[in-house]
């Protein structure tokens, strides 16, 4: 299924699930067609903010999309005040998503760092019943979504201050799990984490898919605002970079130069 369009989404519910982290459920057209790892552009209603905010899709529930986001600026601050019945313009579904079929039947490691954790929940859900291990990295013991990951996968925690799980990041937690031999890694999180995962995967001969983030304008591949460097010349751009909003946000770690 494929859906891409702009629609007046209706807020079903919203709650603050951790300090500054909100879970927003919106009924919007095409929700059921979303792939794990895709994202949506949500437009703030205020005219002070003109561009859409790219927010990863956490999971879909029937005709609704769940977004779990951190309040980081004017747009997300406005989203955090949305209440049941409010409407908001949603441009969805954007980007490619994770290759779920490629992971089926394999030992899969999912890695999420901070606000990169939410999109991995949809991946864990889609891979339910497979050998899935979710590594979730937090700043401290204020975790979120980890209970939900447990419904679909084994869960391993890491925290920067060591207050919960392994002290350090998700890769430290993976290294500590010496008996785990993943065939494939799928990850979303801050750039230093993704860089480290790319290197780790290459050194250990593991296939890795990473979801990148960049400031965006159009979200649909027209403005070329959100590109990343690639190892090879890209077919569309005819130069060594690809559009994160369109060919990404999920890339084979080997193809990107980050």
Q: What is the dihedral of CA 232, 236, 242, 244, to 10 degrees?
A: -150
Q: Which of 51, 71, 107, 176 binds other proteins (CB under 8 A)?
A: 51
Least distance in Å: CB of 149 to other proteins? Answer: 31
For residue 162, state whether it binds other proteins (rule: CB under 8 A). no
Stretch of residues binding other proteins (CB under 8 A), selected from 45-53, 127-135, 148-156, 173-181:
45-53
Contact 57, 69 (CB under 8 A): no
Nearer to other proteins, 64 or 244 (CB): 244
Contact 113, 188 (CB under 8 A): yes
DSSP assigned state of 31? G
Q: Which of 18, 80, 177, 240 binds other proteins (CB under 8 A)?
A: 240
Nearer to other proteins, 68 or 227 (CB): 227
Least distance in Å: CB of 103 to other proteins? Answer: 29
Contact 53, 75 (CB under 8 A): yes
Instruction: Name the nearest CA neighbour of 223 among 56, 75, 88, 51.
Output: 51
Phi, psi of 204 (to 5 degrees): -105, 10
Nearer to other proteins, 96 or 246 (CB): 246
For residue 142, state whether it binds other proteins (rule: CB under 8 A). no
For residue 88, state whether it binds other proteins (rule: CB under 8 A). no
For residue 220, state whether it binds other proteins (rule: CB under 8 A). yes
For residue 223, state whether it binds other proteins (rule: CB under 8 A). yes
Q: Which of 68, 91, 94, 111 binds other proteins (CB under 8 A)?
A: 91
Task: Supply angle C-alpha 167, 168, 173, rounded to 5.
Answer: 85
Least distance in Å: CB of 169 to other proteins? Answer: 21
Contact 212, 132 (CB under 8 A): no
For residue 192, state whether it binds other proteins (rule: CB under 8 A). no
Task: Supply angle C-alpha 88, 90, 96, rounded to 5.
Answer: 160
Q: Which of 18, 45, 49, 87 binds other proteins (CB under 8 A)?
A: 49
For residue 241, state whether it binds other proteins (rule: CB under 8 A). yes
Range list of β-strands (E), 95-234 = 107-113, 131-138, 154-159, 166-167, 184-188, 207-211, 227-229
Rule CB under 8 A: which residues touch other proteins?
Answer: 4-6, 43, 48-52, 91, 214-228, 236-241, 246
């Amino acid at each position: 299924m494929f859906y891409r369009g702009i629609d007046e989404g209706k807020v079903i519910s919203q709650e603050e699930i951790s300090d500054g982290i909100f879970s927003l459920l919106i009924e919007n057209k095409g929700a059921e067609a979303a792939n794990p790892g895709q994202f949506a552009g949500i437009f703030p209603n205020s005219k002070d903010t003109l561009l859409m905010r790219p927010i990863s899709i956490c999971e879909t529930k029937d005709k609704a999309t769940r977004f779990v986001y951190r309040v980081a600026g004017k747009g997300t601050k406005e989203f955090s005040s949305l209440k049941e019945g409010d409407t908001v313009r949603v441009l969805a579904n954007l980007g490619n998503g994770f290759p779920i079929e490629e992971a089926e039947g394999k030992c899969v490691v999912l890695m999420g760092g901070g606000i990169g954790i939410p999109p991995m929940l949809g991946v864990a859900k889609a891979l339910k019943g497979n050998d899935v291990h979710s590594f979730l990295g937090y700043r401290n013991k204020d975790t979120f979504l980890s209970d939900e990951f447990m419904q679909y996968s084994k869960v391993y925690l890491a925290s920067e201050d060591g207050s919960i799980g392994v002290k350090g990041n998700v890769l430290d937690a993976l290294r500590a799990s010496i008996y785990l031999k993943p065939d494939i890694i799928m990850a979303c999180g801050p750039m230093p984490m993704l860089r480290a995962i790319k290197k780790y995967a290459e050194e250990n001969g593991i296939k890795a898919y990473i979801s990148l983030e960049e400031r965006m304008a159009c979200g649909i591949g027209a403005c070329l605002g959100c590109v990343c460097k690639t190892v090879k010349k890209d077919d569309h751009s005819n130069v060594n970079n690809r559009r994160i909003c369109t060919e990404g946000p999920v890339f084979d770690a080997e193809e990107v130069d980050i």
